[in-house]
Amino acid sequence: MTTYLFSPPAVISVAVRGVDARFPVRRVICVGRNYADHAREMGNDDREPPFFFFKPTDTLIDSGVPMPYPPLTTSLHHEVELVVAIGTGGADIAEEDALQHVYGYAVGLDMTRRDIQLAAREMGRPWDWGKGFDLSAPCAALSRVSDVGHLSKGAISLRVNGEMRQSSDLSELIWGVPEIIAIASRGMKLEAGDLIFTGTPAGVSAVKEGDLLEGVIAGLEPVSTRVGPRAHTTKAQPPTAQARSSQ
């Protein structure tokens, strides 16, 4: 039996609507610029092929868990996104087979230190430091395909303190779920447990301590989180893995 020098990290997971068992997460894969209006608001052409980045798996928090305002930024932005949960892995998945690999869907927030991300982008550096900070991926409970089917259209929105900031429709995705799965699986083998954050529509904006964020996609469980207080004031300890889960 393998022994370890210290306790291995806890399995990171997301809740599943109507099921006691949780969905164990392997990786968090994110698509950049996947709505034309958001690509334009970020100063980009809307016909670029999709590209990917990752958030560390342990950035995930359940809906309802507060999200500390992160260090190193004065521009914390919300990005509401459709999250695809992969239930069956595969490489070189054909577009017409892609939806068979989906276990379910959720609403997630790809929280972003926009100032750090944009500075990195200008210097041609990776986005990780702007995207991969602690607790930066609130994610609602998954809804199973067996309960809700597949989502190719439907309203997607985000409110801050009740005020609408992002409002679009899944039909506005430049690259839809089957295309994203097919393209991603050409570059790496997808595995059960992978989550894909599919990109955000226009209307991203800065939030501050105390703000309540509520993300909604028609037919799915909503996601919410309250921002703050600030992390890393040296007095505040990061939440434990158990505190990250609302259960």
Binding positions for Mn ion, rule: CB under 5 A: 79, 110, 200
Q: What is the closest distance, in whole angstroms, from the C-beta atom of residue 200 to Mn ion in the complex? A: 5
139, 61 contact by CB (below 8 A)? yes
Give the nearer residue to Mn ion in terms of CB position, either 144 or 216.
216
Give the nearer residue to Mn ion in terms of CB position, either 200 or 245.
200
Please report the beta strands in the chain, taking only residues with DSSP state E, as ranges in sequence order. Answer: 13-16, 19-24, 28-32, 51-55, 60-62, 67-69, 76-77, 80-86, 102-109, 112-113, 137-139, 143-144, 155-160, 163-169, 195-197, 212-217, 223-230
Q: What is the closest distance, in whole angstroms, from the C-beta atom of residue 75 to Mn ion in the complex? A: 15
Q: What is the closest distance, in whole angstroms, from the C-beta atom of residue 31 to Mn ion in the complex? A: 7
Give the nearer residue to Mn ion in terms of CB position, either 48 or 97.
48
Q: What is the closest distance, in whole angstroms, from the C-beta atom of residue 202 to Mn ion in the complex? A: 12
Give the nearer residue to Mn ion in terms of CB position, either 79 or 214.
79
Nearest-CB residue for Mn ion: 110
Give the nearer residue to Mn ion in terms of CB position, either 52 or 232.
52
How, if at all, do strands 155-160 and 163-169 pair? antiparallel
Across 201-226, b (16+ Cβ under 10 Å) vs e yields: bbbbebbeeebebbbbbeebbbbbbe
What is the distance between the alpha carbons of residues 173 and 171, in angstroms, rounded to a whole number?
6
